[in-house]
Amino acid sequence: MTRKTRIVTLSLAAVIAATGLIALAGDLNPPAGPIAPTMKTLDEVEPRVAINATNTPGDADSLFKITQPGSYYLTGNIQGVAAKHGIEIAASGVTLDLNGFDLVGVGGSLDGVSTAAGDLTNIAVVNGSVREWGGDGVDLTSFFPLNCRVAEVLATGNTGNGISTVFGGTVLNCSAIINTGNGIIIFGTGGMVSNCSAFNNTGSGISTGTGGTVTNCSAFNNTGSGISTGTGGTVTNCSAFWNLANGITVLQGCTVTNCSARQNSANGINASLGCTVTNCSATSNGGDGISASDGSTVADCTAQLNALDGIRCSVSCVIRGNTCSINGFGGGIGAGIHATSTDNRLEGNTCTGADRGIEVGFSGNIIIKNICSGNDIDWIIAANNIYGPIIDRRAPASPAVAGFSAPSSLGSTDANANFSY
């Protein structure tokens, strides 16, 4: 090697070392002890159990049957057969993921998914389609299982209910249409239905039992009530439209808030004993807009274009701050507000454009601070009621105002006065 070649070689080595291009090899000797795998097992990749004839064989009345706790999933669609359920669940602690697949029944089949043993708890059915079964689409009521959940399920065209559960069950983000029974129903106490829709079911659209909650739901064109709850229930932020019975039906002690009931064949909102109805609208219904039974409160609601009364109450009700217009519509006879019995308080309401503005057909009520205008008759009040003075201002002799002040044109300084204008 010449002196010149040696100098170039040494220079290249120095450059490579400076730029980190020389790398040291790893230890060629493996560590002590047994060699362990570095990849995940199949059970770790998919720890759930596939629904199939090997893992979940059926029996005399089911295509597939789950008999052990765990997480199960579909790998394809299921075609029903007569006299059998699609999938039976006979163990607690089961989550059944339909995995986006379709369970399709046939004539004479049973439920799409059903519970099949007593004393079951903690069952979930999620994420898929269940249609055209001879029974319910999803039936988590047989043998009364507790604490069940149905979520992200579409139930269509089943001969029974679309989705049913019981005792504290929850139904979330589901849709139930064209079922011969109810769309979605929770029997018993303490259930919740949230973010669901029910359309064109033969029974009620959405129904819960005692203490049930229905929130952010829509019920359209059902033969029964659009939405109904048992005693002590709550209905919030819901819409009931074009149902053939009442739009929303609630029993004793219920609360209805921020709901809309429109074009239902009977009453828009039908509230039983001791209910509270607030910030709701009831429009163009075939009966009363809002009907409230003994001891109920109706406040800050709108009732318009209903065939009968805008708001109708019976005994010991508070009807306060409501707006009622053009009721008794379409050939019906109705009042803006109609109190049919005693001990009611009608306060601060506005009633316009009806056959009768405010009608009180019984003694022992108090009528204060209300306004009526443009009704065929503004006031019909039976004898022996308490009411503030009724001031007729239909043709007020008051000048126009252009400036910064004007005298009162009310015609009364009584804080409890009622007005016609």
Task: Report pLDDT for 397.
Answer: 73
pLDDT(11) > 60 = no
Token pair recorded at residue 145: 């299982």
What φ, ψ does residue 13 adopt, rounded to 5°?
-60, -40
User: What percent of the residues of the chain are helix, what percent strand, and what percent coil, each to the nearest 5?
Assistant: 5, 40, 55
Distance in angstroms (rounded) separating the CA atoms of residues 283 and 303: 6
Task: Report pLDDT for 91.
Answer: 98
The model's pLDDT over 190-223, given as tens digits with 9 standing for 90+, comes to 999 999 999 999 999 999 999 999 999 999 999 9
The model's pLDDT over 350-388, given as tens digits with 9 standing for 90+, comes to 999 999 999 999 999 999 999 999 999 999 999 999 999
Q: Where are the domains of the chain?
A: 49-245, 264-421
pLDDT(6) > 60 = no
Q: Residue for token digits 């049973």?
A: 110
pLDDT(13) > 60 = no
The model's pLDDT over 279-291, given as tens digits with 9 standing for 90+, comes to 999 999 999 999 9
Residue, of 18 and 168, whose pLDDT is higher: 168
**pTM for the structure as a whole:** 0.88
The model's pLDDT over 289-307, given as tens digits with 9 standing for 90+, comes to 999 999 999 999 999 999 9
Q: Out of 13-17, 84-88, 191-195, 335-339, pick the least confident.
A: 13-17
CB 168 within 8 A of CB 191: yes
Token pair recorded at residue 219: 């019920």
The model's pLDDT over 24-49, given as tens digits with 9 standing for 90+, comes to 455 556 666 666 565 555 555 689 99
CATH number of this structure's domain 49-245, picked from the four choices 2.160.20.10, 2.120.10.90, 3.30.1280.10, 2.60.40.650: 2.160.20.10
Q: How confident is the model at residue 115 (pLDDT cuts 50, 70, 90)?
A: very high
